[in-house]
Amino acid sequence: MPILIPCLICYFCSVPENSSKKIALVSVINDLVTDNRVNKTCLTLLECGYSVTLIGRKLKRSLPLPDWNFNAERMKLIFTKGVAFYLFFNLRLFFKLLFKKADMLYANDLDTLLPNYLVSKIKNIPLIYDSHELFTEVPELQNSKFKRRIWKLLEKFIVPKLKHCITVNGSIAKIYEEQYKTKFHVVRNIPEAIKNFKPKSKQELNLPLDKKIILLQGAGINIDRGAEELIDAMNFVEGAILYIIGSGDVWNNLQERVKFQNLQKKVVLIHKIPKGELMHYTHHADIGLSIDKNTNLNYYYSLPNKLFDYIHAGVPLLASRLPEIEKIILQYNIGDFIEDHKAATIAHKLNELLSSPKLQEFKQNTIQAAKELNWSLEKEKLICVIKLATNLKDNHRN
């Protein structure tokens, strides 16, 4: 029996595929549908000549998988949160990666890194690690020193050993490089340039014709993202309706807040929808919001996806003064800032901006910003990392 196990491992790891293409296995802990960064990664791997399988998980409220040009598999798990969930997910992912042929592994975030690292060593294939955030600094871990310590130990154990690492902005890259003496390439989560897109009309989307549209969108509307105070602020905003579209830990709280304050006519909550559908709403917004609080390093150094979605839709921004966000807004002169998260402060700035001629100026400036901030330019950095990992593997074989 001890001899049989490694033999089986060797067999499954080397079983031939019908396709002559190299195979990349991409893993992420979410349900795949709304993760546009991972989607763009898979398409870039295709462009580099890989056959791609994306692996994630399926939740009770998961949307159907789109018709992608790559394979996608979602694992159903018994546990959905807590230690048991992470252990079970990593175990399932380990065996799925182990018994699939692969020429490259691509791990998204720290919660998929361990099984990817172990399998990359067993199979002697390259691993690219893409850290979407300062994982150990997220607010969910700040109140649990034990959990944070476990993740930090895992990060310290693996990251210094990695050769191909990516993250989302320069600030986070600098932190990782200082901590682990490992090079992190910066690939920002910038969308494709929008071509031949015809947004649905306001009538089709049931949007009001006589009011301005304020929009907060995102798949991670969690604690300290400013959504609660934003709803409170709508008591003092006139001539506008707030749309919050997405999902997150505070979603139920937001629903209760709207109901308690009787704001149903001024605040509309729409649970997460596919990117293609969301774009129609984004294009009709008069102001796009990104108002995370400076309560942890992960938020402080964040560069949210929605920032670029707003820019490509021609939507001026109202944001909190966080360094990576402030850099973009000031560089292109496409928005304004709130100075604190008091409801009165947010309301005052919204009212001021909605009635200001600067709003049209900001909107006009997004055109140039969108030209320079697009995925066709940004993905070249990712292609370089993929080619570097591929060439190193090929050279090692030779």
CB atoms under 10 Å from CB of 28, counted, come to 23
Residues 239 and 211: beta-carbon distance below 8 Å: yes
202-372 under CATH 3.40.980.10, yes or no: no
Asked if 12-190+375-397 and 202-372 have one fold, the answer is yes
Q: What is the pLDDT of residue 392?
A: 64
DSSP string, 250-316: THHHHHHHHHHTT-TTTEEEEE---HHHHHHHHTT-SEEEE---SSSHHHHT---HHHHHHHHTT--
Q: CA 117 to CA 94: how far, in whole Å?
A: 9
pLDDT tens by residue, 143-202: 788 889 999 999 999 999 999 999 999 999 999 999 999 999 999 999 888 888 899 999
Q: What is the pLDDT of residue 11?
A: 38
Domain ranges of the chain: 12-190+375-397, 202-372
pTM: 0.82
**Class of the CATH-defined domain 12-190+375-397:** alpha beta
Q: CA 109 to CA 92: how far, in whole Å?
A: 17
Q: What is the pLDDT of residue 359?
A: 96
Distances (CA, A) of 139 to 244, 292, 299, 356: 21, 12, 9, 35
CA 342 to chain centre: 27
pLDDT tens by residue, 259-268: 999 999 999 9
What value does the mean pLDDT take over residues 10-38?
A: 73
What value does the mean pLDDT take over residues 318-339?
A: 97
Distances (CA, A) of 63 to 59, 315, 330: 9, 27, 37
**CA count, 13 A, side-chain hemisphere, 356:** 15
* Average pLDDT across the chain, whole number: 91
Rg of the chain (C-alpha set): 22
Q: What is the pLDDT of residue 353?
A: 97
CA angle 94, 85, 43 (to 5 degrees): 55
Q: CA 305 to CA 167: how far, in whole Å?
A: 13
Contacts of 213 (CB under 8 A, 6+ apart): 207, 240, 241, 243, 284, 285, 286, 287
Q: CA 261 to CA 278: how far, in whole Å?
A: 26
The amino acid at 381: K
pLDDT tens by residue, 384-396: 999 999 986 555 4
pLDDT tens by residue, 63-87: 788 889 999 999 988 887 888 889 9
